[in-house]
Amino acid sequence: MGNRRVSEGICEVDCIDGPRAAAARAALPSVEESKAIAEAVKVLAHPGRLRVLKALAGHELCVCDLARVLGGSMSGTSAQLKELRRLGAVEFRTQGKLAYYRIADPFWLDLADSVLEKLNGAVSN
């Protein structure tokens, strides 16, 4: 039974490498920082928001055109944009009755592209 635990990735002994554990603990983000990271990643963890980012890559689009590109409603698209604005990923400008959106911080689009590239590489390997 003992070897089974190790094969499942569970230590069989209660022995800690003190200096290594202390260094790992010192490198941890604070609980507040961890929550902020999780919230930011949660915003990106929605297929609709990822598609909004990709649709805006290199383009500025008004909400009505963006909704048409994505095949969704204006209210649904606006809700996705609101979350991305809160994250700082997109920004908008108004022109008369129109709101035009663009990428505000390419980091978030680059992050999504990096994950997609990694997944595509994992699929082909």
CATH topology of domain 15-124: Arc Repressor Mutant, subunit A (1.10.10)
| pLDDT at residue 8, as a whole number | 80
Cβ atoms of 93 and 100 within 8 Å: the answer is yes
Residue 125 has pLDDT above 60, yes or no: no
Question: What's the pLDDT tens digit per position in 91-109?
Answer: 999 999 999 999 999 999 9
Residue 33 has pLDDT above 90, yes or no: yes
Confidence of residue 1 (pLDDT cuts 50, 70, 90): very low
Confidence of residue 20 (pLDDT cuts 50, 70, 90): confident
| pLDDT at residue 2, as a whole number | 46
**Domain layout of the chain by residue ranges:** 15-124
Distance CA 84, CA 26 (A): 32
What DSSP designation does 91 have? Answer: E
Which candidate, 28, 27, 70, 26, places its Cα nearest to that of 46?
A: 70
Residue 9 has pLDDT above 60, yes or no: yes
Cβ atoms of 52 and 77 within 8 Å: the answer is yes
Residue 60 has pLDDT above 90, yes or no: yes
H or E element at residue 101: strand 98-103
